[in-house]
Amino acid sequence: MTNVLTFILVAIIKIVITVFVLLTAVAYTVWLERKVVGRMQNRWGPTRVGPFGLLQPLADGLKFILKEDLTPPYVNKPIYILAPMLAVVMALTSIAIIPIGPTLHIGDYATPIQITGVTDANGQSSDIAIGLLIILGVTSIGVYGIALAGWSSNSKYSLLGSLRASAQMVSYEIALGLSLVGVLMITGSFSLRAIVEHQQGLMFGFIPRWNFFYGFQFVAFFIYLMAAFAETNRIPFDLPEAETELVAGYHTEYSAMKFAMFFMAEYANMVTVACLASVMFLGGWSGPVFGPPIVQSLLPVLYFMARIFFFLFLYIWIRGTLPRFRYDQLMGFGWKFLLPLAIANIVITAFVIAWRA
Amino acid sequence: MHLILFIIFAVFCVGGALGLLISKHPINSALSLIVVMVSLAVLYLLLGAEFVAAIQVIVYAGAIMVLFVFTIMLLNAGEEERTKGSRVATALGFPALIIGAATVIYAILAKIGITGSLSLGQFRGTPEAVSDLLFRDFLLPFEVTSVLILIAIMGAVLLARKGSAE
């Protein structure tokens, strides 16, 4: 009985810490984006609230909470309220599946640094056997948040935005899923923890055994990266919210906290996609570890965070650099270039694996 | 624990199915169908068919239903019009339906002779089990089905082209 209680207590602590870190990361990604894009465009970005504008997310949050929450009279009310909730819940759920670090040992107690993971009596950590599929499933349910938001708003700009968004997300989900198949074939498991553990160590003594190098999955990595940009509706694939054509796309009619929910969902999705990219292609938390046991289990978490920061910076960097696609180009790029390339990658990887075996 | 979850999601499932039939607006029907599919996925998961459950969510709830919702949004379908229908159909329809369903269930039970012997978590549904079945035991039917689907896709493309050319 005490075992069950300890397990529940540890799970609650993990959930609280993870959600707190994720929400803070989401808030500060917005700050980072404004700061970095500002510098790229020869401006300062936020500077007024706190040193370097560091308290800006706090001020933004206050503003969102205190603003009037306007519900236009012509909307389909139940769905209009449901849509942002669906978007943000699905965006925040995925983080539960992500393995953030190896096993943490505190005295005799051992637990994996992951919400949905268990450690058995031998100190072996494991997680859900179909972790990757759950993330893909949750992401595909998240599409409804955007689709329903546009439809229930009863406004032509919202509807057009959400039509674009859902068509784009459904199309690029296929390329995204297929780009991960190569990695799955190399590892032979859907479990994210198993995938990361498979990438530990070095080959030839100096190149990390990441799937990016090891299985020649860098093609798959770039397919994944492009599909991920489209999945999160970021520039250069941000047609659903192209402000010059559609005001603000699917969230035109939303205000205050409901609008903030869409914003949170978008940035949480960015974090999830970055986590998945690190886990699948860049070795997750792998890196040199040293020092006492507690440092040895916490240092990999820092390596993992560093990778996520790199991806978030890349998002912002590309936002500051590239113009937007045209819609037919976007669809053509997804279906006629990324999809065949992903299938070719699967076939070649399969042949190489069969040849080696 | 399993039983409680089963009851909760079975209620969701039946409630969603009723909502699909009763609700007047097509988008509410579509949303009810999504609830049915997701709760079915949870039921599969409770049986131990994890892979089937994940695929159920990704393919049915995540892809096919998006197309349904998409169509409803594009056509901007309004509320259904209710007709009274014929009284004979109402009087005869429901008893006939119940008798028909009972006959089918009885026939199946009499034939196989299983009356609830599969306990929760007994089903073979891991990715390995499913792929063993698909790629070893039933390879030929699987490949034939995929060719059939390919032909259907090509037919659909051909029909769509014909329509736009005229």
**B164 Cβ partners below 8 Å, 6+ apart?**
none
B57, pLDDT greater than 60: yes
When mean pLDDT is compared across A166-170, B25-29, B113-117, the lowest value belongs to B113-117
Nearest-Cα residue of chain A relative to residue B35: A141
ipTM summary value: 0.78
Give me the residues paired with residue A127 across strands: A117
A191-208 per-residue burial string, b: 16 or more CB within 10 A, e: under 16: bbbbbbbbbbeeeeeeeb
For A37, residues 6+ apart whose C-beta sits below 8 A from its C-beta are A45, A316, A319, A320
Q: What would the two tokens of residue B60 be?
A: 């049915």
Q: Which of residues 177-216 of A touch B (CB under 8 A)?
A: 190
Q: What is the mean pLDDT of residues B45-67?
A: 84
Interface of B with A (CB under 8 A): 27, 31, 34, 38, 50-51, 54-55, 57-58, 61-63, 66-67, 69-70, 72-74, 126-127
Mean pLDDT on A343-349: 90
**pLDDT digit string (tens) for A292-314?**
777 777 888 888 888 899 998 98
Question: Nearest-CA distance from A240 to chain B in Å?
Answer: 15
Q: Sorting pLDDT into bands at 50, 70 and 90, what band is B122?
A: low
Q: Which of B60, B38, B125 minimizes the C-alpha distance to A129? A: B125
Q: Do B63 and A134 touch (CB under 8 A)?
A: no
As given in the structure block, the two tokens for residue A284 are 């997750």
Report domain extents, chain B: 2-79+86-125, 126-166
Across the range A234-238, mean pLDDT stands at 75
Please, what sign has the CA dihedral across residues A165, A27, A317, A206?
negative
Distance CA B58, CA B67 (A): 13
Interface probe with B: pick from A151, A178, A250, most Cβ of B within 10 Å = A151
Evaluate if residue A64 carries a pLDDT over 70.
yes
pTM over 0.90: no
| Amino acid B115: pLDDT | 56
Q: What is the mean pLDDT of residues A277-283?
A: 86
* B60 backbone dihedrals φ, ψ, rounded to 5°: -75, -55
Which of B50, B58, B150 to mutate against chain A (most A CBs within 10 Å)? B58
- Residues on chain B touching A141 (C-beta within 8 angstroms): 38, 57, 61-62
| Contact (CB, 8 A) for A162 and B73 | yes
- Domains of chain A by residue range: 73-356
Residue A98 and residue A272: Cα distance in Å, rounded?
8
Q: What is the DSSP letter of A67?
A: S
Rounded alpha-carbon distances, angstroms, from residue A30 to A176, A302, B122 = 25, 21, 47
Q: What is the pLDDT of residue A243?
A: 66
Say yes or no to pLDDT of A120 above 60.
Answer: yes
CATH topology for B2-79+86-125?
Answer: Four Helix Bundle (Hemerythrin (Met), subunit A) (1.20.120)
* Chain B interface includes A147 (CB < 8 A): yes
Angstrom distance (rounded) from CA B149 to CA A336? 20
From A150, which residue of chain B is nearest by alpha-carbon distance?
B73
pLDDT at residue A244 tops 70: no
Q: What pLDDT was estimated at residue B150?
A: 94
| Contacting residues for B127 by C-beta, under 8 A, at least 6 apart | A129, A130, A190, B50, B51
DSSP per position, A155-224: -HHHHHHHHHHHHHHHHHHHHHHHHHHHHHHHHT-S-HHHHHHHT-SEETTTEE--HHHHTSTHHHHHHH
- Alpha-carbon gap, residue B152 to B148, rounded angstroms: 6
Res B165: pLDDT: 57
B84 pLDDT above the threshold of 80: no
Rounded (10°) CA dihedral B133, B136, B138, B139:
130
Mean pLDDT lowest among A22-31, A196-205, B38-47: A196-205
pLDDT for position B149: 94
Interatomic CA distance for residues A311 and A275, integer angstroms: 9
Q: How far apart are CA B125 and CA B155, in angstroms?
A: 33
* Most confident of the following: A147-156, B57-66, B121-130: B57-66
- Residue of A194, A63, A71, A73 lying closest to A128 (CA atoms): A194
